[in-house]
Amino acid sequence: MVKTVIIEAHGGPEQFRIVDREVGAPGKGEIRIRHENCGLNFIDVYQRSGLYKLDLPHAMGMEGAGVVEAVGEGVSHLKKGDRAAYASMPPGSYSEARVMPAAQVCKLPDEISFELGAAMMLKGMTVVYLFQRTTPIKKGDTVLFHAAAGGVGLLACQWARSEGIRLIGTAGTDEKCRLAEENGADVCINYRDGDWVQKVRDLTDGQGVDVVMDAVGKDTFDGSLDCLKPLGMMISFGNASGPVPPFNLATLAGKGSLKITRPTLFTHIAKHEDCQAIAAALFEKVANGDVEIRIDQRFALDDVAEAQRALEARETTGQTVLTV
């Protein structure tokens, strides 16, 4: 029997229940992993709230790191005793141990701790697909990144710096702006202090940016389109302020034949070989020091409701982990 966090109804953090569940042997294509740490992400909030519906009751959590305890038939890239980390469906990482599909579980290099592994997989692999797999971005290009002091944002700032890409960030306080700049943002705009769209235009001599990466959603969407240069790419990859409402596609033509995509990490890692390659790119950046995983908040698994409240209130910076 292992401790597992579940929800039985969608809603606020008060919906969490901590129960004891039996964990059996892995079946074909599965592993059993005992967690040391698990990660905290906005997708967990979306699933809990019902923005992303789950069949209930359901275990929670998308990201974890620990030790492989058993391997099912057909699994060849992992073995019992391996250190491993993952960010993948289905939810269930808020637990002491679980049985799960093995294809998206990755062997964790010895030089990367379990805590870092749990903190980096979902956000780090997101940064990899944003910069390497969504639209061509080359040295010298300019990217506008919203929430640049958040978990994904700080990694994106460092990634851009390591690739010679100019990153203009936005954040909600001067302190967060300084943090983004310390991590590699060329400049970070406090969007509460004046017209951030005009500031982006001024910083690009009126030309606009090549790419916008926006996980905020509703509150920044229209302004983000106004920051793009003709033929620019809008990558809308999250809904922190709420989902983007419907809009007229002709708007993209009128603003300069803009392009837009709404990707998810789980599409990019759906194939085993793609997932392993994306993880390898992330591990390389972390191992060589180009990207540092900053863990600013730690909570016990029992305090998961408090952790999610802090995340929703935008009181967190960097990464947050739960200790199992």
Per-residue confidence (pLDDT) for residue 274, from 0 to 100: 98
Farthest-apart Cα atoms in the chain, separation: 61
- Does position 103 have pLDDT exceeding 80, yes or no? yes
The yes-or-no verdict on residue 318 having pLDDT over 80 is: no
pLDDT tens for each residue of 172-226: 999 999 999 999 999 999 999 989 999 999 999 999 999 999 999 899 999 999 9
Write the burial class of residue 21 (CB in 10 Å: 0-12 exposed, 13-18 middle, 19+ buried). middle
Three-state SS for 30? Answer: strand
* CATH 3.40.640.10 at 2-123+272-323, yes or no: no
Instruction: Give the confidence band of 243 by pLDDT, cuts at 50, 70, 90.
Output: confident
Does residue 57 have a cis bond before it (omega within 30 degrees)?
yes
Nearest to 170 by CA among 199, 141, 145, 151: 145
The amino acid sitting at 126 is T
Q: Quick one: which of 130, 123, 67, 61 has its CA closest to 92? A: 61
315 CB burial (10 A radius; 0-12, 13-18, 19+): exposed
Name the band, by pLDDT with cuts 50, 70 and 90, for residue 39: very high
First-to-last alpha carbon distance for the chain, in angstroms, is: 14
Range list for CATH 3.40.50.720 in the chain: 135-262
Q: Would you tell me how many other CB atoms lie within 10 Å of the CB of residue 29?
A: 15
Q: Which residues contact 126 (CB under 8 A, 6 or more apart)?
A: 152, 237, 265
Measured CA to CA, the distance from residue 37 to residue 85 in angstroms comes to 10
Sheet containing 142-145: which strands, arranged edge to edge? 187-190, 166-171, 142-145, 209-214, 228-236, 259-261
Residue-wise pLDDT for 116-125, tens only, equals 999 999 999 9
How confident is the model over 129-141, as a mean pLDDT? Answer: 97
| DSSP run (H or E) holding 189 | strand 187-190
DSSP line for 278-289: HHHHHHHHHHTT
| Range list for CATH 3.90.180.10 in the chain | 2-123+272-323
In total, the chain counts a number of residues equal to 324
Q: Domain spanning 135-262: which superfamily?
A: NAD(P)-binding Rossmann-like Domain (3.40.50.720)
Q: What amino acid is encoded at 146 in this protein?
A: H
pLDDT bucket at 241, cuts 50 / 70 / 90: confident
The overall pTM is greater than 0.85: yes
Q: What was the pLDDT predicted at 202?
A: 97
Instruction: Give the pLDDT confidence score for residue 315 in this predicted structure.
Output: 86
Q: Average pLDDT of 114-133?
A: 97
Instruction: Return the minimum-mean-pLDDT range out of 72-81, 109-118, 181-190, 235-244.
Output: 235-244
- Where does 146-191 have alpha helices with state H? 151-163, 174-182
183-200 burial, b for 16+ CB within 10 Å, e for fewer?
bbbbbbbbbeeeebbebb
Q: What is the pLDDT of residues 272-312, one digit of tens each?
A: 999 999 999 999 999 999 999 989 899 999 999 999 999 88
